[in-house]
Amino acid sequence: MLQTKIVNRQLPEYRQVVELFKTAFPKEEQMPIWLLRALSHRRGISFLAFFDEDIFCGLTYFIRKNNNLFLLFFAVDGSIRSKGYGTQILTWLKTHYPDDQIFLEIETVDSTSANYQQRQSRQKFYFKNGFKDTGVKSKEQNVVYDILSTSESFSAQDYKDLIRHFSFGLMRASTF
């Protein structure tokens, strides 16, 4: 069973968390770590590291409000991918927040994209773990994302509200 620790500078594995964050997400999708840490002190925002015994497995960064959980960042350490840890982390979220719909963004699976296989594998992984394509897309910095959800009743407005809440009203989500 996985254990979680709150990500902060005192976490002994803090450098591993930062390194995973920097390597798992394209630079244009990243936010400054100091900002993520600061925002995670707000109610409903969590920055967690996951461990199997002493082995650092991965990280999540999510926003919760009104039974909606937006998984903004989720990554598994590359050295232990394909060993079931991603599924275990998603199961942990579903178990700890059973009444919440969980949703996230993935790059649209487009056969013309340079990382088509990676996008296809990612989509397959989430579908295998109970996520469904909502039919709603978002666009950030010229990148189009599909929004996946564990619930059939996904609301684009709920997604927009979480983004607004997270950003103190400074960001507006663009959906179509």
What are the domain boundaries of the chain? 3-166
This prediction's pTM: 0.92
For residue 143, what pLDDT is reported? 85
Going by CATH, does the domain composed of 3-166 fall within 3.40.50.300? Answer: no
Q: Which residue has the tokens 């400054």?
A: 32
Mean pLDDT of the chain: 94
- What per-residue string of b and e applies to 126-164 under the rule 16 or more CB within 10 Å gives b? beebebebbebbbeeeeeebbbbbbbeebebebbbbbbe
For residue 171, what pLDDT is reported? 72
**For 21-57, how does the pLDDT look when each residue is reduced to its tens digit (9 = 90+)?**
999 998 888 999 999 999 999 999 999 999 999 999 9
**What percentage of the chain exceeds 70 in pLDDT?**
99
Predicted confidence (pLDDT) at residue 174 exceeds the cutoff of 80: no
- For the segment 60-81, the average pLDDT, to the nearest whole number, is 96
pLDDT band at 107 (very low <50, low <70, confident <90, very high): very high
**What percentage of the chain exceeds 90 in pLDDT?**
81
Name the strands in the sheet holding 68-76, side by side, starting at the edge strand that comes first in the sequence: 3-6, 45-52, 55-65, 68-76, 101-107, 143-149, 132-140
